[in-house]
């Protein structure tokens, strides 16, 4: 009979490189203590690398620098997928995701309908911040980021350059989703986003 460690190792090796692994994935294999010890041993054997507290990865290996650890963004995405929660990037993270800021934020703040928590990935922090369902109702991948980015810039502080960039990005959004999301935004943000219909692009 295979030991807990061997079973977990077999499962991990069947996953693609770069896959994230959570102790909860293996609850059916044994006690949480046995699973934790097995994961620690697999980390010592370089089968796994710990990406954050309670989160491991089957690392991609670079010839130059060895095992590659996933980015904080990838970890945040994997957690959202695993917990089946909705998340929306906010603040400087939303600005960076849209290319309105080149600064990579040290803290990623995500609004979520899941439980609030903070996770450290390397030198960066991921903060899941509980929010109202209304804030998560935006459907469009671009338009929901735009709403959060504009909130971060602030009413009356959006320069012409950023406005042009935002309207260009919104042209790629699905029209149905865009109309749905504009209706959810604060009035001053609606005014900016509605300019997409009057700038002759659609």
The predicted-structure confidence for 23-53, as pLDDT tens digits, reads as follows 999 999 999 999 999 999 999 999 999 999 8
Which of these, 115, 120, 108, 106, lies nearest to 86 by C-alpha position? 115
* 171 CA to centre of own chain: 23
Q: Angle CA(132)–CA(94)–CA(165) in degrees, nearest 5?
A: 125
What per-residue confidence (pLDDT) applies to 199?
63
Question: Where are the domains positioned within the chain?
Answer: 4-68, 137-202
The distance in angstroms from the start CA to the end CA of the chain is 64
CATH of the domain spanning 4-68, picked from 1.10.10, 2.40.10, 3.30.1480, 2.60.40: 1.10.10
Q: Minimum mean pLDDT among 64-68, 178-182, 191-195: which range?
A: 64-68
Q: In which band, very low, low, confident or very high, does the pLDDT at 201 lie, cut at 50, 70 and 90?
A: very low
pTM of the model: 0.82
Quote the mean pLDDT of the chain: 93
Tokens at residue 184, please?
């959810």
What per-residue confidence (pLDDT) applies to 10?
96
Across the range 153-181, mean pLDDT stands at 96
61 against 190, higher pLDDT? 190
Question: Would you say residue 202 has pLDDT above 70?
Answer: no
Which of these, 111, 99, 182, 197, lies nearest to 143 by C-alpha position? 182
């Amino acid at each position: 009979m295979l030991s807990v460690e061997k079973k977990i190792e077999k499962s991990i090796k069947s996953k693609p490189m770069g896959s994230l692994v959570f102790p909860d994935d293996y609850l059916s294999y044994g006690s949480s203590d046995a699973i934790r010890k097995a994961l620690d041993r697999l980390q010592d054997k370089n089968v796994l690398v710990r990406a954050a507290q309670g989160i491991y990865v089957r690392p991609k290996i670079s010839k130059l620098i060895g095992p590659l650890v996933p980015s904080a963004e990838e970890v945040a995405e994997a957690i959202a997928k695993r917990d089946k929660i909705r998340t929306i990037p906010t603040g400087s993270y939303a600005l960076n995701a849209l290319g309105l800021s080149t600064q990579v934020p040290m803290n990623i703040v995500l609004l979520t309908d899941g439980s609030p928590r903070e996770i450290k990935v390397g030198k960066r922090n991921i903060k899941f911040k509980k929010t109202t369902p209304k804030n998560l109702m935006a459907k469009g991948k671009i338009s929901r980021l735009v709403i959060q980015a504009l909130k971060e810039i602030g009413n009356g502080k959006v320069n012409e350059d950023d406005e042009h960039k935002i309207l260009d990005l919104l042209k790629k959004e699905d029209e149905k989703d865009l109309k749905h999301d504009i209706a959810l935004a604060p009035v001053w943000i609606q005014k900016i986003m509605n300019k997409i219909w009057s700038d002759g692009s659609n």
